């Protein structure tokens, strides 16, 4: 790759940003990818990204180098880690989650970013899905249909369900519109939504207690870095309070929650290879439309269902991509 002179930059969140011009590559250029995550990625996700890169002719140790930095759930580490990735001089930055996508977009206006986030247009990270215009493209997880489906699955499992507690992090800008969509979906299915804001893991136990005192018959956990890091605690609290719990990632079901329904992140990371390849070969990220998920997965933890005294209906089991015995 041919690099132009790097601009000076000052500390992230201080205002100024570091940027490098995009270099158009040859037919099969070498690639330097800065991979920034809010916490350590699930191994199948990073392997799916590598597989997606291989589909386009890139192999680590040959013509692909990946620098991985994980914040381990600590946003105060973002500035240092992004600085380290800038020092790596990446051709493309890859990330997932709204907070890391926002931090990278604030830090650079020229280094291409391939992002998996909630609502890049609504958050001002891109001009539109069809034509992002800036230096960020990738995937938007617009959640309205996902959460409505989650409610329906809960209703199928607990037919007399009339009240659902929703665990949401009020500091995550994506969550407020999702809560609104859940309230609308609930009103059409006869389910009242009890909103439980949690901005700190020390508030989780109190939130589950509030679900009990509020007579909610189930808990729905919105996707959020905070909850993902504490999914083991969430699974334990759900078991202790005997509350059926729906989540968005399969890892939660493996951590003791009853259900997980959401986007297949392995599929998104694999598809991200197409964006990286296009950018390396000269396409501007702002000209590459932001896509939406195509594959979804349902995971059912039958052991948890038995512990809760619930019978999982056959139609739900038929839909399941994975059943945990």
Q: Domains in the chain, start-ordered, CATH in brackets? A: 31-141+265-294 (3.40.50.2300), 144-263+297-324 (3.40.50.2300)
Q: What phi and psi values does residue 193 have, to the nearest 5 degrees?
A: -100, 125
**pLDDT at position 83:** 97
**pLDDT at position 26:** 44
pLDDT digits (tens, 9 = 90+) for 123-136: 899 999 999 999 99
Whether residue 143 has pLDDT greater than 80: no
Answer whether 300's CB lies under 8 Å from 244's CB: no
DSSP 202: G
**What average pLDDT does the chain have?**
89
Closest CA to 266 of 46, 94, 118, 116: 46
**How far is it between the farthest Cα atoms of the chain?**
65
At residue 44 the predicted structure's pLDDT band, cuts being 50, 70 and 90, is confident
pLDDT digits (tens, 9 = 90+) for 286-318: 999 999 999 999 999 999 999 999 999 999 999
Whether residue 57 has pLDDT greater than 80: yes
At residue 23 the predicted structure's pLDDT band, cuts being 50, 70 and 90, is very low
pLDDT digits (tens, 9 = 90+) for 172-183: 888 888 899 899
Between CA 224 and CA 191 the distance in angstroms is 23
pTM of this prediction?
0.82
Closest CA to 24 of 53, 2, 6, 57: 2
| Tokens, residue 224 | 């959020």
Whether residue 139 has pLDDT greater than 80: yes
The SS3 of residue 74 is: coil
Whether residue 18 has pLDDT greater than 80: no
| Tokens, residue 288 | 């590459």
Closest CA to 142 of 122, 168, 112, 170: 122
Place of tokens 């990446």: 90
Between CA 196 and CA 180 the distance in angstroms is 13
């Amino acid at each position: 790759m041919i690099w132009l002179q790097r601009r000076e930059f000052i500390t992230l969140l201080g205002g100024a940003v570091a940027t490098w011009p995009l270099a158009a590559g040859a037919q099969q250029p070498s690639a330097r990818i800065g991979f920034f995550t809010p916490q350590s990625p699930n191994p199948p996700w990073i392997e799916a990204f590598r597989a997606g890169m291989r589909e386009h002719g890139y192999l680590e140790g040959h013509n692909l180098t990946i620098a991985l930095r994980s914040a381990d759930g600590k946003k105060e580490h973002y500035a240092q880690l992004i600085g380290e990735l800038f020092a790596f001089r990446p051709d493309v930055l890859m990330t997932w989650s709204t907070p890391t996508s926002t931090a990278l977009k604030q830090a650079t206006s020229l280094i291409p970013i391939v992002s998996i986030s909630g609502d890049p247009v609504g958050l001002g990270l891109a001009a539109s899905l069809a034509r992002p215009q800036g230096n960020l493209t990738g995937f938007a997880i617009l959640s309205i249909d996902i959460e409505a489906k989650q409610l329906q699955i809960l209703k199928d499992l607990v037919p007399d369900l009339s009240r659902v507690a929703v665990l949401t992090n009020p500091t995550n800008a994506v969550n407020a519109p999702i809560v609104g969509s859940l309230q609308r979906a609930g009103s059409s299915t006869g389910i009242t939504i009890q909103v439980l804001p949690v901005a700190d893991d020390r508030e989780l136990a109190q939130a589950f207690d509030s679900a009990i005192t509020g007579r909610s018959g189930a808990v729905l956990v919105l996707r959020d870095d905070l909850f993902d890091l504490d999914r083991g605690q969430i699974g334990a609290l759900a078991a202790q309070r005997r509350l059926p719990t729906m989540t968005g990632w399969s890892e939660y079901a493996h951590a003791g929650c009853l259900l997980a329904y959401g986007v297949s992140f392995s599929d998104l990371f694999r598809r991200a290879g197409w964006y990286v390849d296009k950018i390396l070969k000269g396409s501007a990220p702002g000209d590459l439309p932001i896509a939406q998920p195509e594959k979804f997965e349902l995971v059912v933890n039958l052991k948890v269902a038995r512990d809760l005294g619930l019978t999982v209906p056959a139609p739900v089991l038929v839909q399941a991509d994975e059943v945990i015995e």
